[in-house]
Structure 1
């Protein structure tokens, strides 16, 4: 429950702190006095968006703080899940800065609006006139039935499963589309792949083949050049090797005379060894050279295959051709994998479909059992609210469609009078009837929900007299299980409150201010008398007010 509310620099309120009690509290005040401001401030605490127009003084920040007693409502899991400090008296604070920025805190820990909104769902339900019209909405009607049917956990399980079911369906549709597109290209891709595989390409082989081709294609000139070089090197009288040996012998004679000469001798000795190695290498090359026209033709053919493939695929290296081959292999393999994935997804979808149908059947069964209970409870309450002939016709029909809350379609019909046909609420129910039906719904839901606080914002539209008294009695009865606030213009309802607050507006100098004040017994009598007779309070109005309060 909300135990206190503090407002600073908001709308027409300069500064206000008010404490609230358990049970049933009523809030009254003239039109425009500021009741909507109080609701707006509470709305900000619950996570509604704010703007600079909320600031009374545009140069100072607005602060709204509310204290909630939450020990009874099993909210520790929420605080742990959001890494927040849990306090049995939890404080929520909103700040709106002159810059327009907004900040929110739960027990002094900064939070975002989404976290604030999630927590507020466990704390307060503000019922406005607009929500009375929402009673005609099928989703709202389902929520009413499901609360009585105790379907909450089953629907959550169904929704989680439905999410994965739809995700699988989306994946399947995407794969089927890709498969259809891939099949058109498969034949051509397979042809290209077979062509590349047949070529038996290897990384770096083009360079090797081109080098071998050059050798075989020029074998005669290579042989002639090597043999000539060997002849020059090894000719007995004037060959290079013989000359180097002569130089070496000459230097050996003077090597001991100076380190300079010995150094030259050492270098010539090294040159002689290197030259011998070169001669041997040229000799090996010459001996290995073979004129092989068949091998030359095979190399030429392989190079031509490579050149043709490079031209076809618009690349310049074997490495790039191998990359293309890998991509084609993956593309062809992917089509095979698609078939396997399609089979797996179909099995998963069918399995989830069976499970979804089972949950939907359970939801449907619970709803069917709850409908007579809801109808009986609604009729019982509405009969006390001056609708003795009210009837409801609530039909739940299963369908093949998977909706967000099951597979049911709902027809919620209503008749207020004998001899009149059933019709949709929004078409046949008057404003006063809708207000009474909504109060009856809220009274029933209060028995099934653990919500701490419910605020009725002028739910008494279109009713008066004895009906208003009974509406007040129902709210008071509801307050045994939860904290109830009723913003009302009716003295009959205002008198039923255990605490009575008045919203008033006053002009202070050039400024207009709103305030919320807890009335004592004498002040309540005057306020209710004014609600009965207007500004001029008559003796009979005072007596009537006392009677209502008693």
Structure 2
């Protein structure tokens, strides 16, 4: 329930700070006084996109803030799921707009995306403006009304889960058929590519190994020359490092008994002597292994040329990528061979899912048929007192192909008198009749969805007198049981039934036009309703009439 509304620097509003209450409240004011501005501010709180032009001229920032009491509505899950602090007694929604075009939204001082603000707003408030009467034209709205009364959310969710899987399988089948057709058209080419890569007998890592062998053989003379020079330096009988170290060790051993200081040197030189002998042996082995074989080099380079050719052809840069390409081609060829088998499997699965979807859709239809009868009866009861004694209201459920909402098509049929056949409500009902139909629908579904706050923006268009009074009674009843209903109205019959009465006024000041809203006391209510009855010249008779209306 909306407890408090604060608006600052929004179009004609300098500052609005007002409390609101549960039950049935009314807002009145002359045309152009600013009632639509207040609704525009509330729309921003509910997630509507902002326009910096709505900021009051000369102001840097606009702030709209609302406080809600959620204690009766069990909405804690939304806050837990979105990691937002939960305060059942005082939920604060705030929207800030800057003249630079920036917009920020907050729930309990936590910055949130506009989509989250809208998600919460849809659970807090329903603003019914005149253009919403056009919803009667829309199949989705009519289906939603039936589903709300049917209380079929669980069954609808079960059906939609199965239908979604059915759609996914349909897509899978279509893609497989298309793939098989494409692959069959190019089967010979795929087979050629696969055989080319298969016959290449590719081995992981061979490219790097071959490139190394090629480099070695092409530089064989340089390699052998360097190895020979090193081998000669280490192992030559005259002046070789190893022979010189051996002589040094022999000389030092001869003095170690008389000069112990060389023992450590002997050990270190001996270690180096052993290492160098090992190095000399390795170099000697390398000298024997390095040999220039033109035939082998041609063979290696020929193999590399083939690898490079394949890599260029298939737009890859490694043998591993060529192997992956070969394996993919093999899979495509196997898929072509096994295509009919896969098709049969998917078709069988699709048939099962379709049968299951039809079964769940039938359950949904039964719930809707039962709900449709209930709606027809209740709408008849609600519309007759609203000045339509011969009204007929019927819901036509017809079968359709499976869709996301089942296999039903809903059409609301209406006739205001016995001589006119039932036709779609949007085609035959007048503006005033549509207003009464929508009010009756809203009254019916408001109890089912337990929406905290409903705002009616001039839903009384096209009605007057006793009918207006009956519409007011309906809204007053809707405002019971802890709910909050607010009606923006031009009719005194409706204004008089509000538990709380607000007035929107426009004032001309030195700084320009401003719009304000205030709560009226008893005397002010009498005068406001009297003015609605008689116009700007309020007569004593109008005042007495106003008092009588308020007594009701």
TM-score calculated relative to the size of structure 2: 0.79
Q: Is the 8 A contact 2:358 2:402 kept in 1?
A: no
Taking a change above 3 Å as real, the CA distance of residues 206 and 55 of structure 1, as seen in their structure-2 partners, is closer
Q: Is the 8 A contact 1:67 1:89 kept in 2?
A: no
Between 1:155-164 and 1:16-25, the stretch displaced more is: 155-164
Q: Is the 8 A contact 2:493 2:549 kept in 1?
A: yes
Taking a change above 3 Å as real, the CA distance of residues 106 and 195 of structure 1, as seen in their structure-2 partners, is same
Taking a change above 3 Å as real, the CA distance of residues 120 and 208 of structure 1, as seen in their structure-2 partners, is closer
Query: 2: CA distance between counterparts of 1:121 and 1:212?
Result: 76
Give the corresponding residue for 1:330.
Answer: 328
Query: 1: CA distance between counterparts of 2:211 and 2:503?
Result: 96
Query: 1: CA distance between counterparts of 2:544 and 2:476?
Result: 22
Q: Is the 8 A contact 1:398 1:408 kept in 2?
A: yes
The 3-state SS of whatever aligns with 1:389 is: coil
Q: Is the 8 A contact 1:61 1:95 kept in 2?
A: yes
Deviation at 1:75, TM superposition (A): 0.4
Taking a change above 3 Å as real, the CA distance of residues 508 and 200 of structure 1, as seen in their structure-2 partners, is closer
The 3-state SS of whatever aligns with 1:50 is: coil
| 2:196 is the alignment partner of 1:192 | yes
Q: Is the 8 A contact 1:415 1:422 kept in 2?
A: yes
Q: Is the 8 A contact 1:472 1:496 kept in 2?
A: yes
Deviation at 1:126, TM superposition (A): 0.4
Between 1:169-178 and 1:412-421, the stretch displaced more is: 169-178
Query: 2: CA distance between counterparts of 1:475 and 1:326?
Result: 71
The 3-state SS of whatever aligns with 2:420 is: coil
Query: 1: CA distance between counterparts of 2:45 and 2:396?
Result: 39
1:517-549: CA deviations, max 9, x gaps?
111222111111111110001222122212211
Taking a change above 3 Å as real, the CA distance of residues 510 and 178 of structure 1, as seen in their structure-2 partners, is same
Give the corresponding residue for 1:363.
Answer: 364
Give the corresponding residue for 1:2.
Answer: 2
Give the corresponding residue for 1:37.
Answer: 37
Query: 2: CA distance between counterparts of 1:6 and 1:493?
Result: 26
Deviation at 1:175, TM superposition (A): 4.3
Q: Is the 8 A contact 1:397 1:410 kept in 2?
A: yes
Deviation at 1:467, TM superposition (A): 0.7
Give the corresponding residue for 2:475.
Answer: 475
Q: How does 1:9-24 map to 2 (within 5 A)?
A: 9-24=9-24
The 3-state SS of whatever aligns with 1:359 is: helix
| 2:452 is the alignment partner of 1:455 | no
Q: Is the 8 A contact 1:52 1:58 kept in 2?
A: no
Taking a change above 3 Å as real, the CA distance of residues 18 and 304 of structure 1, as seen in their structure-2 partners, is closer
Taking a change above 3 Å as real, the CA distance of residues 60 and 302 of structure 1, as seen in their structure-2 partners, is closer
Give the corresponding residue for 2:221.
Answer: none
Give the corresponding residue for 2:391.
Answer: 390
Q: Is the 8 A contact 1:11 1:37 kept in 2?
A: yes
Q: How does 1:58-457 map to 2 (within 5 A)?
A: 58-90=58-90, 91-183=92-184, 184=186, 185-197=189-201, 203=206, 306=303, 309-310=306-307, 313=310, 320=318, 323-336=321-334, 349-350=350-351, 352-402=353-403, 404-457=404-457
Taking a change above 3 Å as real, the CA distance of residues 209 and 433 of structure 1, as seen in their structure-2 partners, is same
The 3-state SS of whatever aligns with 1:546 is: helix
Deviation at 1:400, TM superposition (A): 2.5
Q: Is the 8 A contact 1:179 1:335 kept in 2?
A: no
Q: Is the 8 A contact 2:311 2:322 kept in 1?
A: no
Taking a change above 3 Å as real, the CA distance of residues 74 and 344 of structure 1, as seen in their structure-2 partners, is farther
When Rg is computed on C-alpha atoms for both structures, the one with the higher figure is 1
Taking a change above 3 Å as real, the CA distance of residues 110 and 307 of structure 1, as seen in their structure-2 partners, is closer
Q: Is the 8 A contact 2:210 2:304 kept in 1?
A: no
Deviation at 1:170, TM superposition (A): 3.4
Deviation at 1:207, TM superposition (A): 6.9
Query: 1: CA distance between counterparts of 2:450 and 2:320?
Result: 68
Q: Is the 8 A contact 1:453 1:484 kept in 2?
A: yes
Taking a change above 3 Å as real, the CA distance of residues 302 and 356 of structure 1, as seen in their structure-2 partners, is farther
Taking a change above 3 Å as real, the CA distance of residues 193 and 476 of structure 1, as seen in their structure-2 partners, is same
Q: Is the 8 A contact 2:142 2:411 kept in 1?
A: no
The 3-state SS of whatever aligns with 1:30 is: coil
Taking a change above 3 Å as real, the CA distance of residues 119 and 241 of structure 1, as seen in their structure-2 partners, is closer
Taking a change above 3 Å as real, the CA distance of residues 461 and 319 of structure 1, as seen in their structure-2 partners, is closer
TM-score calculated relative to the size of structure 1: 0.80
Q: Is the 8 A contact 2:311 2:319 kept in 1?
A: no
Query: 1: CA distance between counterparts of 2:198 and 2:288?
Result: 39
Unaligned runs of 5+ in 2: 219-235, 255-268
Q: Is the 8 A contact 2:28 2:495 kept in 1?
A: yes
Deviation at 1:43, TM superposition (A): 1.4
The 3-state SS of whatever aligns with 1:375 is: helix
| 2:487 is the alignment partner of 1:486 | yes
Deviation at 1:456, TM superposition (A): 0.5
Q: Is the 8 A contact 1:189 1:332 kept in 2?
A: no
Deviation at 1:310, TM superposition (A): 4.7
Q: Is the 8 A contact 1:25 1:497 kept in 2?
A: yes
Query: 1: CA distance between counterparts of 2:352 and 2:160?
Result: 16
Taking a change above 3 Å as real, the CA distance of residues 300 and 83 of structure 1, as seen in their structure-2 partners, is closer
Query: 1: CA distance between counterparts of 2:77 and 2:6?
Result: 27
The 3-state SS of whatever aligns with 1:121 is: helix
Deviation at 1:64, TM superposition (A): 1.5
Query: 1: CA distance between counterparts of 2:430 and 2:542?
Result: 30
Taking a change above 3 Å as real, the CA distance of residues 301 and 182 of structure 1, as seen in their structure-2 partners, is farther
Taking a change above 3 Å as real, the CA distance of residues 38 and 322 of structure 1, as seen in their structure-2 partners, is closer
Between 1:152-161 and 1:119-128, the stretch displaced more is: 152-161
Taking a change above 3 Å as real, the CA distance of residues 335 and 466 of structure 1, as seen in their structure-2 partners, is farther
Give the corresponding residue for 1:46.
Answer: 46
User: Please, what is the CA RMSD of the aligned residues?
Assistant: 4.5
Give the corresponding residue for 2:222.
Answer: none
Q: Is the 8 A contact 2:191 2:333 kept in 1?
A: no
